[in-house]
Amino acid sequence: MSNNLLQGKRGIITGALDENSIAWKVAEKAFEQGAKIVLTNAPIALRMGKINELAAKTNSKVIPADATNVEEINKMLIESQEFLGGKIDFLLHSIAQSPNIRKNIGYPELNYDYYDKTLDISALSLHKMLAAAYKLDAMSEGGSVVTLSYMAAQRTFSFYTDMADAKALLESIVRSFGYHYGKHRKVRVNSVSQSPTKTTAGSGIKGFNTFYDFAQLNAPLGNADAESCADYCITLFSDLTKMVTMQNLMHDGGYSNTGASSDLMDKFGEE
């Protein structure tokens, strides 16, 4: 259902891989709400995913860019403005990867070359995109940037290893750049801390299904799915939230404020 919340707005969505990804859902919702969008991802991800299907569905353009490469980011931002016909009103940063997790390397044994890549891809890429947009004056006044985080930035989840560090850095960049961009162009920068979500990326984490079930039992509303996360992102892109910035916003069905639910206690009591 469309309320035209983004009518006339122009946006960039990063990280859409397939129909299970949050970025994919955000792109669909943004289009439904009246926005004109550009889709971008790293060239290798474009070859692996189905982004051209999404582009056709949303009348958008795909512009490849490695989010760790400033030159490619600059080129993508310039080409995006040309396609969109003006400055960018909103940007979704949905980029994360950990070579250590992919190779099942535990936190005490981290490969530091992989660790550097995790931080660069999953956190510094946000700084690079914001810095490039800042220098190019690519964002509209009062624009909105949203990135996706996870509660492991504040609390330890043993299986999340170096991605927890990356999310902590990501949230710090949200606060620090949010201040500077707010003063400069009233651009808002926020992170959404999402429930465990059954995406292609999330499902690759060892023990994910067990933890997903655990979180589902503990959260009073259950886990927030990708579609509801997309709805939340749309509100943050809209003018309804024009005074919200530098925040890490929990979107987890209440999990982060629940110690132990009755459902979880009942499950352990049965065993």
Q: Is the backbone of residue 144 left (phi > 0), alpha (psi -120 to 50) or beta? A: beta
In the Cβ-directed half-sphere of 159, how many Cα atoms lie within 13 Å?
A: 13
Could you write out the DSSP letters of every residue in 142-205? EEEEEEEE-GGGTS--GGGHHHHHHHHHHHHHHHHHHHHHHHHH--EEEEEEEPP---TTGGGS
Rounded Cα distance, 33 and 146, in Å = 17
Sheet holding 10-14, edge to edge: 61-62, 36-40, 10-14, 88-93, 139-149, 188-194, 248-251
Give the 3-state secondary structure percentages of the chain, helix then strand then coil, rounded to 5: 55, 15, 30
- CA atoms within 13 A of residue 213's CA, in its CB half-sphere: 4
Q: Tell me the catalytic residues.
A: 150, 160
Residue type, 193: S
Kindly calculate the radius of gyration of the chain based on its CA atoms and give it in whole angstroms.
18
Instruction: Give phi and psi for 227, each to the nearest 5.
Output: -65, -40
Instruction: List the structure tokens of 195.
Output: 């429930």
